[in-house]
Amino acid sequence: MAVAKAVGGVVINADASQVYADLAILSARPSDDEMAGIPHHLFGHIDAADPHNAARWADEARAAIAAAHAAGDIPILVGGTGLHIRTLLDGISPIPEIDLDIRAAVRALPVADAHAALAREDPDTAARLNPADTTRIARALEVVRSTGRPLGHWHAAHSGGIGDTITLAPLILLPPREWLRGRCDERLVQMFDHGAIAEVEALLARNLDPDLPALRAIGVPQIAQYLSGAIDRSEALTLTQAATRQYAKRQYTWFRNQPPADWSRHTESLNYDSIDELAILLRQRLLTG
């Protein structure tokens, strides 16, 4: 909000969970009060029954960015989903549609068996992935089995990126890790105390496919266990906090190491006293870009 006010901007969501109307609390989507006075786009516009993805988001973001430019506004993308940002800037691999029978067979495999199969059929991708990463391992295996080509082949043929057509002022926020962990834990306490359980209860009442992305968002499976009586509320909170910290650790590592080296990183070594100073920094970059 401070950046938007400083540069005359609009805010565009780049978080994979905040797109879902059903996950206002668990995704920490900005409230109406928090958004007051600044236009926000791509927040809460997707129903949980609709499996949103990075390619679709990139199409929506391109349209929102173009509309902002046409209105003379500065689009400010904010969020922690690296795949979304990479897809928007670099484009997407033109992977053909996956054979549904192959997809079903792959997703029925235990993750250890799927990773072992991937190591035989696409060893380069298998070596890069965490052996416990069910989603990415299944995706890589279904791609190589359905197309006959490994995932790396398709990743080398990106199209549709806008990174070379815009002036970009990137800033990666990397706050102190201990502060971040404490922030994650406290935020989950607030979520549990202020509607997260009711939010998941309403979502589960819709009897949607449990493999939908919205139903796999952090907090949903853990609260679902509590609602079913399998665990108590305290354990559900503890498990959700642990999953959040693990995800934050992966995010932190990704944003520290994966984006281009010339993307500025706001780290522990930088001593900005307030977000207003970050807003001024970005404004200077935009004016000189």
CATH, residue 13: 3.40.50.300
Residues 143 and 30 in one domain: no
Q: 109: domain CATH number? A: 1.10.20.140
How wide is the angle at C-alpha 33 spanned by C-alphas 30 and 36, nearest 5°?
95
Give the mean model confidence (pLDDT) for residues 66-85: 92
Task: Provide the pLDDT for residue 155.
Answer: 75
DSSP code of residue 73: P
pLDDT greater at residue 227 or residue 135 = 227
Q: Which residues contact 227 (CB under 8 A, 6 or more apart)?
A: 197, 200, 201, 204
pTM: 0.78
Among residues 263, 193, 199, the alpha carbon closest in space to that of 234 is found at 193
What pLDDT was estimated at residue 113? 96
pLDDT > 90: percent of the chain: 64
Is pLDDT at 247 greater than 60 in this prediction? Answer: yes
- pLDDT 10s digits, 9-59: 999 999 999 999 999 999 999 998 999 889 999 999 999 999 999 889 999
Which of 82-91, 144-153, 177-186, 219-228 has the largest mean confidence?
219-228
Residue 135: domain span: 100-157
Residue 278: count other Cβ atoms within 10 Å of its Cβ. 19
Q: What is residue 100's predicted lDDT score, i.e. its pLDDT? A: 92
Number of domains in the chain: 2
* Rounded Cα gap, residues 238 and 30, in angstroms: 24
